[in-house]
Structure 1
Amino acid sequence: MKKLVIVLLCFTTLLSSCAIKENELVILENNDKDKSNSSAKIKDWQFETISQKAIIEKNREAISKISKDIIPIAITPDYSTVIGYKNIQSEKADTKNSMVIVGKMMQYIELFAINASNGSEKALGKFMSIKSSQFDNEGKQWAFIDGEDSVYIYNVENEQLQKILEKYNYRQFNNISWSRDSKRLMFDNRMIFDIASKEFLSIAADSYTPFIRMSYSHNTYIAEMKNNRYDNIITLYNFDNKTFTQIADGYYMDSDSSNLIYTIDLMQGLKIVNLKTLESKAIEDGPIYCASILKSTGEVIYTTLNSNFHDDDRYLLVKINPNNMVKKSFPLCTPSYYLSPAEDKLHFVSNYSENSINVDLESFKVTENISRTDDENLSKIKSVILNMFLLDYDFNGSYEEYEIQAKKVYTNTAYPIPQEALNNKLTDFKRFNTPLPNFQKESYIPPSLSFDSIAIKSNKASVNIGRFFINSIELVKNDKDWFITGFSTHPESNEIAEVRAIIQKHINDIISGNSGKALSYWDKTEDSDFVKNNRNIVENLINNRSKISFEIGETELWAMSDPHRAESPSSSTEARTKIIVKEGKNISKYKIVLSRKNRDKFTIKSWDADPLSISQLY
């Protein structure tokens, strides 16, 4: 049975029959006692049923008049101006793309506005890609975000380009949309920007203002807005009476006169909703990098993660018929594309500027000219990091099956110091019966992963992937393959050398029976369980010193304690070191914790009889 999902969010009776007003915060309540005055019902909307094939044909006609070496990406609603670009080779873009494990690519381009009637070209400048763009409601202004997160508006009438916002600090913008009055822009569905004042407005005071994604029918638009919980919703919004019907919970990607596609979260999980019935169904559960509806056929195209990737082909281009859900797919080395307004080609933003990748959408033929790829070590290190995430997030099986897969990703090493990523991961699985317990991971694999830094020296590598509680990772090369061997182990750092020297001296005090030195870290006059437990462990080791031997195992550096491992040795405030105590064939494992403040020297804080917590991976 088809499930009709209609969420009626606006009730005029809440405000004494007053309609929702722009620039006014209104808290909407769902009053089940009276639904007769709900703001809009699906049958009230007048649907546009005219085929959009005519629009595509007019776009093709406009594109046919421009130079063949310009790639078109947008056309004004009156078909008078084509926006297009030429690729420019850029080592800056190539370097940035080389650090991407998975995620969108960038390319340096020269942008043009071309008069479709006479083919005259106006150069708009050189930019790093175009991440998102949109014409305003009148079709006279084209706003876009470049690959360096600056925002521009091109006025088609006076042919002037204005930079209205320049990237600063940490800010990143990924998509852009207009208000209906063309006075404001919204970035990433959450930040409202007033163009005249060049100031951001609080979405808390402006949450019900719709931002246009597409004109649907007379004075009715597909729009994005926030509900009273500030969740992103997609609506059919009527500006005559300021009423709306909710279409979906999520983030708009594209639409035609029949269907709309959206992601359930930013860059994650693609769904399609029928605009006549509001029935929705899932297309893809994984990451979504680009997605489009072909207006001429109704087919959906999108790029996602290729979980069965080989070498650099970490993405899939997919074309799907939403009626029968039949898919065609092709592996690629980049997920970022521009759809030609003529809907005949996809032009991909390549991972290296010497390369070119184009797709003929009618035949679904992919043309690749690949001149440059990641070097072998970089490619394989990216692959093993991605495989780590895939194994953590997607594995469902027994311990025996997990051990086989884990040995393809992790290993243990003894040089220059012990590092035991494989042992730690297998121990975790035994404890939690899963690679990561649910409370230690997000609901899906991150769609974007990049190196903040990477250093490869002979058969060893150190990488940092930022953002994550585990971000500093050590790798080792065995034969031709790379394996993860440590998390925040920083084997060649001064901090690790200092920690191991302190522990070795402490063990020497135990072996020599120097109880005064060995027990000096815990004041015997202090009556606490913590002090008693630590003194008991060390005293027992001293008493049995003639029968036992010690090995110093893996050390991990931590910052801010749980759950943050240290991104760099200098940022560490805590060290955790495994100690293996052998008595004949019997083996006991401990963990010594050391701490410091303000980059002072480390000092021993505690012994722990349960060393396994060192392996927990947040």
Structure 2
Amino acid sequence: MYNEGEIDGRNDSMKRAIFFLFFIFILVGCTQQEIKEGQVYVMKEDHFSEEQLGDMLNIEGRIPFQKYVNQSLMSQYDSNRILLTISPDGKEMYFMEKMESDTSFQVIKGETREKVRVIKEDIESKEQEIIAENIPFISKVLWNTEENMVAFGGGERLTIYNVKSKTTVMEEKLTQDNIANFFWSPIDENKLYSEQPDLANASIYYLNSQKKVEAYETREETYYKGKLDSNYYYGTKWDLTNGDTKTVILDKQGKIIKSLISGIFRDAYQKSLVVVGERGFGLYYVPDINASDKIITLTKEYIYDVKFIDDGKIAYTTKTEDVEANLFYLYIVSSNGNELKKLAVNGASIAVLPDGKSGYISGSEWQQVDFLQNKLGKDNSSIENEERDELQEIFITVRGAMRIFYDLELRGVKNWNHLQNYFKNTSLPEQWAYFDMEKMFQERNHKSQNSDYVMEIHLKHYEINGNNASITIGVNTKNPYGRGVAMDYALELIKQGENWYITGFSTFPYAAERKEIEEVVQETIDKIQTGKLFSGEFENKEVMMGQIQFWMSGIPHLAPSAEDANAVKVFLQADNQEIYKLVLEKINQSIWKPTKLTKENLSSL
């Protein structure tokens, strides 16, 4: 079933020795690539000490793909059923199948993380069994050293299946953890190293004892991340003193043989490897581990997924420039580091099929990719012509608006030209989202950080009533320096013509609390006009009540709900010209008291 390695034997004893080594290689074959069993190894007879290996690793590494005598196995998948791996004994196939329920609408921007199930099928009897379901799209599969357990990872979720007991392992603990990457120990079949989204070396799992050890509880500074050959592995060393993360080559005992490059290991092919930078920003390609100073920077953008594919090419995904669409770019790069193709795709995760010649991209519709011809399959639905319902039209506005908002917050960039595309002021009730954004642009003097960031937006709640909509979203951002944020926002929108516009941040026009605030504000205006409050600032002036906005004063931040708010900012217009802000704070959890009246810093609380 598996192809033979290229072996240069000169006598029978040498052939037997090399065959024995080849057999061991097959048993312990685990890689960072999608399908880990049945590797191809190219060996030489030269022998070097570990000191010599530190300078020159005279091995060819491994080609992490399978070839089959029975090629019909590779045809047993379609757009809804993807072959993930074949068991090392050649008796079982494992498929990923899309589940009928569609939850992708909950993601406005970012990976959709649609739910799938994993099905095990006996190749001879065709008997099938569901071994896991309701898990995200799987982009990585690894067998342990004894080949009695297989791990499926994707969407920051890890599922481990014990072949002998036919059960999943440590399911409760693994469900609670966000696991971005993982690798099995080369000497302990029950030990697995993990990586979290912002932590290169995270928890270690001991499956036989059902124990999880945190990074701060272990003395292991270097975690295994990938395999070079049967003796040497790739690892990530985290230096606690300076915070630097380096990819290194280790032996089975954990001794560092060679330090390669700063960054976090992602995948390897023969003597080549790719790493990502801190927090996933930047992709760096080392064509030859023996010349690790010769580094090709493929991109500085955030990397969602990266894989070696057939013939040592590289496939990776980033976000597109289109701020209104939830699309990604799939790049295919030659072994020389040259871009071969750039394709717009629905999803960010890559599932490479066992032969490395084709694969699938995650998303609302899985898209097949032909890695030989560097093109999408013919059965893919059109992205541009996809019909959108009203909620999807709202998502377009939310994506564009929040990009403008966070370009200012995280980069100090003021997109004046696009402000009117997503924000409007409206009356009845008064909501001034465009005015809010204008004041933010005018009053905030952020210095541009000239750094990229990545943003995810999740839908939490929505109501659509004709041409009006209320929506609550969760926004997560991060940049290479760790200055991301996680916040919830309540937005009010209106449809004018064919487009939706944001009219208010945390204005809650239909909430009972707003009626209460209106009464308190009107009483406050009367007191100011009669000189009883704030030195009679409004004496002899006509005052109109403008936007009412709910805040949380401790952060401070816009309140995600009226009930959570402990402060309110109200815009007041005097003599139809000057705009003031009136701040009220909640006293003793029930009484609203005016605390500030000013014409300064209108964009803040």
With normalisation by structure 1, the TM-score equals 0.76
The SS at the match of 2:368 is: strand
The equivalent of 1:603 in structure 2 is: 593
The equivalent of 2:204 in structure 1 is: 192
Could you tell me whether the CA contact under 8 Å between 2:190 and 2:206 is conserved in 1?
Answer: yes
The SS at the match of 1:495 is: helix
User: For residues 323 and 131 of structure 1, do their structure 2 counterparts lie closer, same or farther at Cα, with a shift above 3 Å needed?
Assistant: closer
With normalisation by structure 2, the TM-score equals 0.77
* Distance in 2 of aligned mates of 1:281 and 1:393: 30
**Aligned residue among 44, 49, 61 for 2:60:** 49
**Aligned residue among 560, 567, 578 for 1:574:** 567
* Distance in 1 of aligned mates of 2:173 and 2:469: 32
The equivalent of 2:3 in structure 1 is: none
**Aligned residue among 66, 72, 79 for 2:83:** 72
* Distance in 2 of aligned mates of 1:253 and 1:572: 44
* Distance in 2 of aligned mates of 1:429 and 1:336: 36
User: For residues 252 and 414 of structure 1, do their structure 2 counterparts lie closer, same or farther at Cα, with a shift above 3 Å needed?
Assistant: farther
How far the C-alpha of 1:540 sits from its partner, in A, is 3.8
Q: Does 1:365 align with 2:375?
A: yes
* Distance in 2 of aligned mates of 1:277 and 1:205: 35
**Aligned residue among 440, 444, 449 for 2:452:** 444
Could you tell me whether the CA contact under 8 Å between 2:460 and 2:472 is conserved in 1?
Answer: yes
Q: Does 1:472 align with 2:490?
A: yes
**Aligned residue among 105, 115, 128 for 2:113:** 105
How far the C-alpha of 1:105 sits from its partner, in A, is 2.5
* Distance in 2 of aligned mates of 1:356 and 1:569: 40
Corresponding residue pairs, total: 527
* Distance in 2 of aligned mates of 1:99 and 1:410: 22
User: For residues 455 and 272 of structure 1, do their structure 2 counterparts lie closer, same or farther at Cα, with a shift above 3 Å needed?
Assistant: farther
The equivalent of 1:259 in structure 2 is: 272
* Distance in 1 of aligned mates of 2:413 and 2:99: 49
* Distance in 1 of aligned mates of 2:174 and 2:542: 56
How far the C-alpha of 1:132 sits from its partner, in A, is 4.2
The equivalent of 2:316 in structure 1 is: 302
Q: Which amino acid aligns with 1:95?
A: T
* Distance in 2 of aligned mates of 1:45 and 1:154: 39
* Distance in 2 of aligned mates of 1:290 and 1:146: 10
**Aligned residue among 592, 600, 616 for 2:582:** 592
* Distance in 1 of aligned mates of 2:175 and 2:519: 40
Could you tell me whether the CA contact under 8 Å between 1:421 and 1:486 is conserved in 2?
Answer: yes
Matches within 5 A, 1:287-298: 287-294=302-309, 296-298=310-312
Bigger mean CA deviation after superposition, 568-577 or 186-195: 186-195
How far the C-alpha of 1:377 sits from its partner, in A, is 2.3
How far the C-alpha of 1:207 sits from its partner, in A, is 5.0
Matches within 5 A, 1:205-216: 205-206=217-218, 208-216=220-228
The SS at the match of 1:384 is: helix
Q: Does 1:407 align with 2:420?
A: yes
Could you tell me whether the CA contact under 8 Å between 2:306 and 2:350 is conserved in 1?
Answer: no
The equivalent of 2:141 in structure 1 is: 133
User: For residues 147 and 163 of structure 1, do their structure 2 counterparts lie closer, same or farther at Cα, with a shift above 3 Å needed?
Assistant: farther
User: RMSD across aligned C-alpha pairs, in angstroms?
Assistant: 3.4
The SS at the match of 1:410 is: coil
**CA deviation map 1:401-422 (0-9, x unaligned):** 9322111122222232x22222
Could you tell me whether the CA contact under 8 Å between 1:131 and 1:145 is conserved in 2?
Answer: yes
**Aligned residue among 175, 184, 194 for 1:178:** 184
Q: Which amino acid aligns with 2:321?
A: S
Q: Does 1:151 align with 2:187?
A: no
The equivalent of 1:283 in structure 2 is: 298
* Distance in 2 of aligned mates of 1:175 and 1:102: 18
* Distance in 1 of aligned mates of 2:441 and 2:153: 44
Report % sequence identity: 19
Could you tell me whether the CA contact under 8 Å between 1:40 and 1:243 is conserved in 2?
Answer: no
How far the C-alpha of 1:79 sits from its partner, in A, is 6.4
**Aligned residue among 248, 252, 256 for 2:261:** 248
**Aligned residue among 395, 400, 418 for 1:382:** 395
Could you tell me whether the CA contact under 8 Å between 1:589 and 1:609 is conserved in 2?
Answer: yes
User: For residues 285 and 130 of structure 1, do their structure 2 counterparts lie closer, same or farther at Cα, with a shift above 3 Å needed?
Assistant: same
Q: Which amino acid aligns with 2:538?
A: L
**Aligned residue among 488, 492, 511 for 2:506:** 488
Matches within 5 A, 1:439-588: 443-466=451-474, 467=476, 468-469=486-487, 471-511=489-529, 513=530, 515=531, 518-519=532-533, 535-536=534-535, 539-542=536-539, 545=540, 548-582=541-575, 587-588=577-578
User: For residues 458 and 109 of structure 1, do their structure 2 counterparts lie closer, same or farther at Cα, with a shift above 3 Å needed?
Assistant: same
* Distance in 2 of aligned mates of 1:149 and 1:166: 12
User: For residues 455 and 600 of structure 1, do their structure 2 counterparts lie closer, same or farther at Cα, with a shift above 3 Å needed?
Assistant: same
The equivalent of 2:481 in structure 1 is: none
The equivalent of 1:12 in structure 2 is: none
How far the C-alpha of 1:446 sits from its partner, in A, is 2.6
Q: Which amino acid aligns with 1:569?
A: A
Could you tell me whether the CA contact under 8 Å between 1:235 and 1:246 is conserved in 2?
Answer: yes
How far the C-alpha of 1:290 sits from its partner, in A, is 1.9
- Structure 2: gaps (5+ residues): 1-49, 477-485
Matches within 5 A, 1:316-355: 316-321=329-334, 323-351=336-364, 355=365
Q: Which amino acid aligns with 1:604?
A: P
The SS at the match of 1:569 is: coil
User: For residues 246 and 400 of structure 1, do their structure 2 counterparts lie closer, same or farther at Cα, with a shift above 3 Å needed?
Assistant: closer
The equivalent of 2:604 in structure 1 is: 614
User: For residues 51 and 131 of structure 1, do their structure 2 counterparts lie closer, same or farther at Cα, with a shift above 3 Å needed?
Assistant: closer
The SS at the match of 1:596 is: strand
* Distance in 1 of aligned mates of 2:159 and 2:260: 29
The equivalent of 1:18 in structure 2 is: none
* Distance in 1 of aligned mates of 2:455 and 2:68: 34
* Distance in 2 of aligned mates of 1:465 and 1:437: 27
The equivalent of 2:168 in structure 1 is: 162
How far the C-alpha of 1:572 sits from its partner, in A, is 0.6
The SS at the match of 1:425 is: helix
* Distance in 2 of aligned mates of 1:473 and 1:553: 17
User: For residues 100 and 386 of structure 1, do their structure 2 counterparts lie closer, same or farther at Cα, with a shift above 3 Å needed?
Assistant: closer
Could you tell me whether the CA contact under 8 Å between 1:558 and 1:574 is conserved in 2?
Answer: yes
Q: Which amino acid aligns with 1:554?
A: Q
* Distance in 1 of aligned mates of 2:56 and 2:165: 37
User: For residues 218 and 65 of structure 1, do their structure 2 counterparts lie closer, same or farther at Cα, with a shift above 3 Å needed?
Assistant: closer
Q: Which amino acid aligns with 1:143?
A: A
* Distance in 2 of aligned mates of 1:191 and 1:400: 38
* Distance in 1 of aligned mates of 2:382 and 2:414: 39
Q: Which amino acid aligns with 1:446?
A: V
How far the C-alpha of 1:374 sits from its partner, in A, is 7.0
* Distance in 1 of aligned mates of 2:303 and 2:574: 50
The SS at the match of 1:335 is: coil
The SS at the match of 1:456 is: strand
Bigger mean CA deviation after superposition, 145-154 or 466-475: 145-154
Bigger mean CA deviation after superposition, 361-370 or 145-154: 145-154
* Distance in 2 of aligned mates of 1:241 and 1:170: 29
**CA deviation map 1:514-538 (0-9, x unaligned):** x4xx33xxxxxxxxxxxxxxx43xx
* Distance in 2 of aligned mates of 1:475 and 1:144: 41
The equivalent of 2:25 in structure 1 is: none
Could you tell me whether the CA contact under 8 Å between 1:260 and 1:273 is conserved in 2?
Answer: yes
The SS at the match of 2:602 is: helix
Q: Which amino acid aligns with 1:403?
A: W
Could you tell me whether the CA contact under 8 Å between 1:104 and 1:336 is conserved in 2?
Answer: no
Q: Which amino acid aligns with 2:440?
A: D
